[in-house]
């Protein structure tokens, strides 16, 4: 089926635009950038329909990458049902975001100034690495894609590299992800030590015979990598700052694709985790804790993109909760539906920012539903989906996770349900502050986005409403993951729905019916609000406990202590002694021939005397 063509199309778009885009018009840049991704999407469809039901994985071998004794790593691509779902999400949502970017990035100066073609070249390169990650048939090829999307994330977050906040955000994302990637690297070393291979098929088929303690260690180290890439506690801090990049970047990397790589990797490794229950428990606890923690922060943010950024962190926590309680299909189900409504929320917020000439503070918005109605109604679909309103996409996937969590540990269900209510509240708060009430901002030429931006929003709106029903992911994945007990409890579902509707109602009461109530509430809990508004001061704690000691220690100990005092001191000391000795020897170089003759005579006499004394001694 020539699986290699799926990632090679975006790579070709990157190469062409990267090398020649400066000479192209914007239209020609679009042809190569968007056309390459659409070709990749088309080839994914051809592959999936051509391979049939994919009950068994289809693998293509290209070349042997590493050969060392009995240890071999092949560059192989493989497709099964899980891969097929991820390929459709990456190429399908990615195509919509690329099309949307034509309108959003239209204000960028022409290709000759670098911004426009560079942006699309980076997007294409990201797509290439993400597709390599998904298609990989072993952990090392997956790691190539894993590191590649990290690099592209750094490039895209810091796209506006003349602005310090953007470069700081890019550096933060890169460094925090390196911490997680170190854990992933250690996991691969232990997999090689244990299994003598990194091939998925060989590792998973032999996992049942490996001691539980070994698999637990491997599983926890893999989770360290997943926590970095998918922004889970304690490595979540990079994702909210990543909003410094253009809004399409937020939608592509931080809603639909890259941040879900950790969820995909843990789900792909289900054979390891099902034999390491302690590691699964850690994943579930981290997931539900992250979901609740990030949701509380989202309640107090005023930057519309920051609200949805913390929402992403929270929703990823739901996915890990599903994986951790053994409902792997439910976790992937939420990954798919989240790609629909979260990409829509980000792109919709981009349309709002576009309409307000760059304004992102919701306190300077309001009343926009009559000014940009098409944007409002598309975002409305994402709003009710993420709030878990019955029969929307978010309802199906969220409740499947919560029901599985209740079967595993009821307290996880209750914390997840409370989080669902908080989610509905802060997303409703953002919608009410943006689209309802009176307009509070400065005078702008408020305008609807062009069709090239609105068409992707419309498609995503339809998917947000009906995607959960149309794409029954758990049914499709029934042969990939171990079967789980079917749970249907309408009382529990009704409770979670009630919490979501209550969140919407409270937000309406505080921000529409009685808008003064929100200000009085903030004053009444000023200390708690300050804590939440400042994100629990986690960044400041990390700065005081980690960054400053590391930077200070590097400066005082490594630089001044080791580099300057020891290394430079040794090198400079040798040079200084050589200079002093040269100064003494310089005195003998007077240029006077008679002086040189006298020294020769003196030396000869001294030599004769020394030889005579030596002979007399014998």
Question: Given this model, what pLDDT does residue 617 score?
Answer: 55
Q: How many CB atoms lie within 10 A of CB 210?
A: 16
The share of the chain scoring above pLDDT 70, in percent, equals 97
Q: CB neighbours of 610 closer than 8 A, spacing ≥ 6?
A: none
**Lowest mean pLDDT: which of 96-105, 247-256, 265-274, 580-589?**
580-589
- Looking at the DSSP bridge assignments, the partners of residue 64 are 74
Question: Given this model, what pLDDT does residue 48 score?
Answer: 93
Give Cα separations from 580 to 10, 583, 585, 587, 599 (angstroms): 64, 5, 9, 12, 22
What is the per-residue pLDDT across 184-195, written as a single tens digit (0 to 9) for each?
999 999 999 999
Query: Would you say residue 124 has pLDDT above 90?
Result: yes
Domains of the chain by residue range:
1-275, 276-533, 588-618
Indicate the SS3 state at residue 245. Answer: coil
Question: Given this model, what pLDDT does residue 588 score?
Answer: 64
Query: Would you say residue 618 has pLDDT above 60?
Result: no
Q: How many CB atoms lie within 10 A of CB 530?
A: 12
Question: Given this model, what pLDDT does residue 109 score?
Answer: 64
Question: Given this model, what pLDDT does residue 462 score?
Answer: 96
Mean pLDDT of the chain: 90
* pLDDT tier, 485 (very low <50, low <70, confident <90, very high otherwise): low
Query: Would you say residue 113 has pLDDT above 70?
Result: no
Question: Given this model, what pLDDT does residue 486 score?
Answer: 63
* pLDDT tier, 359 (very low <50, low <70, confident <90, very high otherwise): confident
* pLDDT tier, 616 (very low <50, low <70, confident <90, very high otherwise): low
Query: Would you say residue 92 has pLDDT above 60?
Result: yes
- Looking at the DSSP bridge assignments, the partners of residue 71 are 68
Summarize the confidence of residues 455-461 as an average pLDDT: 96
Query: Do 111 and 25 touch, CB atoms closer than 8 A?
Result: yes
Question: Given this model, what pLDDT does residue 602 score?
Answer: 83
Looking up tokens 């000691």 gives: 549
Q: CB neighbours of 524 closer than 8 A, spacing ≥ 6?
A: none
Helix (H) or strand (E) holding 342: helix 328-355
Question: Given this model, what pLDDT does residue 337 score?
Answer: 95
Query: Would you say residue 5 has pLDDT above 90?
Result: yes
Torsion from C-alpha of 294, 299, 300, 301, nearest 10 degrees: 70
* pTM confidence score: 0.89
Question: Given this model, what pLDDT does residue 296 score?
Answer: 95
What is the per-residue pLDDT across 387-430, written as a single tens digit (0 to 9) for each?
999 999 999 999 999 999 999 999 999 999 999 999 999 999 99
Choice between 114 and 214, residue whose per-residue pLDDT is larger: 214
**Lowest mean pLDDT: which of 96-110, 362-376, 409-423?**
96-110
Q: How many CB atoms lie within 10 A of CB 217?
A: 18
DSSP sequence for 427-448: HHHHHHHHHSS---S------P
Summarize the confidence of residues 476-495 as an average pLDDT: 83
> Whole-angstrom Cα distance, residue 220 to residue 213?
11
Question: Given this model, what pLDDT does residue 78 score?
Answer: 96
Summarize the confidence of residues 487-495 as an average pLDDT: 86
* pLDDT tier, 346 (very low <50, low <70, confident <90, very high otherwise): very high
Q: Can you say whether the dihedral through the CA atoms of 95, 90, 117, 108 is positive or negative?
A: positive
**Lowest mean pLDDT: which of 143-147, 160-164, 275-279, 410-414?**
160-164
Question: Given this model, what pLDDT does residue 191 score?
Answer: 96
Question: Given this model, what pLDDT does residue 440 score?
Answer: 87
Query: Would you say residue 576 has pLDDT above 90?
Result: no
* pLDDT tier, 587 (very low <50, low <70, confident <90, very high otherwise): low
Question: Given this model, what pLDDT does residue 52 score?
Answer: 85
Closest CA to 466 of 389, 399, 403, 402: 389
Give Cα separations from 402 to 265, 289, 394, 473 (angstroms): 21, 14, 12, 16
> Whole-angstrom Cα distance, residue 330 to residue 254?
20
Question: Given this model, what pLDDT does residue 195 score?
Answer: 95
Query: Would you say residue 558 has pLDDT above 70?
Result: yes
Question: Given this model, what pLDDT does residue 343 score?
Answer: 93
Q: CB neighbours of 377 closer than 8 A, spacing ≥ 6?
A: 461
The token duo for 5 is 């063509």
Choice between 561 and 43, residue whose per-residue pLDDT is larger: 43
> Whole-angstrom Cα distance, residue 253 to residue 157?
10
What is the per-residue pLDDT across 9-34, written as a single tens digit (0 to 9) for each?
999 999 999 999 888 888 999 999 99
Q: Is the peptide bond before 190 cis (omega within 30 degrees of 0)?
A: no
* pLDDT tier, 546 (very low <50, low <70, confident <90, very high otherwise): confident
DSSP sequence for 463-475: HHHHHHHH--HHH
Closest CA to 20 of 100, 168, 121, 160: 121
Query: Would you say residue 590 has pLDDT above 70?
Result: no
């Amino acid at each position: 089926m020539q699986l290699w063509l799926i990632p090679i199309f975006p790579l070709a778009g990157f190469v062409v635009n990267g090398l020649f885009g400066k000479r192209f018009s914007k239209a020609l840049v679009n042809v190569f950038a968007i056309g390459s991704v659409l070709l990749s999407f088309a080839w994914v469809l051809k592959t999936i329909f051509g391979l049939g039901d994919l009950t068994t994985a289809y693998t293509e071998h290209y070349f042997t990458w590493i050969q060392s004794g009995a240890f071999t790593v092949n560059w192989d691509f493989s497709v099964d049902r899980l891969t097929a779902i991820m390929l459709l999400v990456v190429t399908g949502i990615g195509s919509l975001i690329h099309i949307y970017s034509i309108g959003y990035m239209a204000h960028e100066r022409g290709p000759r100034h670098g911004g426009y073609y560079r942006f699309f070249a980076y997007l294409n390169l990201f797509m290439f690495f993400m597709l390599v990650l998904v298609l990989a048939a072993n952990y090392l090829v997956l790691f190539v894609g894993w590191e590649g999307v990290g690099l592209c994330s750094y490039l895209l977050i810091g796209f506006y590299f003349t602005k310090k906040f953007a470069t700081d955000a890019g550096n933060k994302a890169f460094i925090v992800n390196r911490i997680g990637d170190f854990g992933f690297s250690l996991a691969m070393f232990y997999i090689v030590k244990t299994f003598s291979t990194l091939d998925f098929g060989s590792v998973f088929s032999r996992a049942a015979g490996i001691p539980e303690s070994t698999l637990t260690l491997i599983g926890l180290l893999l989770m360290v990598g997943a926590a970095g890439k998918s922004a889970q506690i304690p490595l979540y801090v990079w994702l909210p700052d990543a909003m410094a990049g253009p809004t399409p970047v937020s939608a592509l990397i931080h809603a639909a694709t890259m941040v879900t790589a950790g969820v995909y990797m843990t789900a792909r490794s289900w054979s390891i985790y099902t034999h390491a229950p302690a590691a699964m428990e850690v994943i579930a606890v981290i997931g539900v804790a992250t979901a609740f923690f990030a949701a509380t922060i989202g309640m107090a943010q005023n930057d519309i993109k920051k609200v949805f950024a913390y929402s992403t962190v929270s929703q990823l926590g739901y996915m890990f909760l599903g994986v951790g309680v053994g409902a792997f299909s439910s976790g992937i189900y939420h990954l798919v539906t989240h790609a629909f409504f979260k990409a829509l929320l980000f792109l919709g917020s981009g349309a709002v920012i576009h309409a307000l000439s760059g304004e992102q503070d919701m306190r300077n918005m309001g009343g926009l539903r009559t000014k940009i109605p098409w944007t409002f109604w598309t975002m409305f679909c994402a709003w009710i989906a993420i709030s878990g309103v019955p029969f929307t996409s978010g309802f199906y996937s969220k409740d499947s996770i919560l029901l599985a969590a209740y079967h595993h540990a009821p307290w996880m269900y209750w914390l997840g349900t409370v989080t669902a209510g908080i989610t509905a509240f802060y997303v409703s708060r953002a919608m009410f502050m943006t689209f309802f009430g009176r307009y509070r901002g400065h005078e702008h030429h408020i305008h609807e986005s062009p069709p090239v931006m609105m068409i992707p929003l419309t498609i995503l709106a339809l998917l947000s409403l009906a995607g959960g029903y149309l794409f029954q992911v758990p049914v499709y994945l029934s042969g990939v993951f171990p079967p789980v007990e079917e749970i249907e409890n309408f009382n529990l579902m009704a409770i979670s729905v009630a919490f979501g509707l209550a969140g919407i109602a409270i937000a309406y009461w505080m921000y529409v019916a009685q808008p003064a109530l929100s200000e009085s509430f903030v004053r009444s809990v000023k200390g708690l609000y300050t804590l939440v508004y400042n994100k629990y001061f986690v960044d400041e704690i990390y700065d005081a406990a980690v960054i400053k000691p590391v930077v200070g220690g590097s400066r005082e100990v490594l630089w001044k202590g080791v580099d300057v005092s020891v290394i430079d001191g040794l090198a400079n000391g040798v040079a200084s002694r050589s200079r002093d000795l040269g100064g003494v020897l310089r005195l003998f170089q007077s240029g006077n021939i008679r002086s040189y003759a006298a020294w020769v005579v003196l030396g000869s006499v001294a030599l004769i005397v020394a030889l005579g004394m030596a002979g007399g001694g014998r």
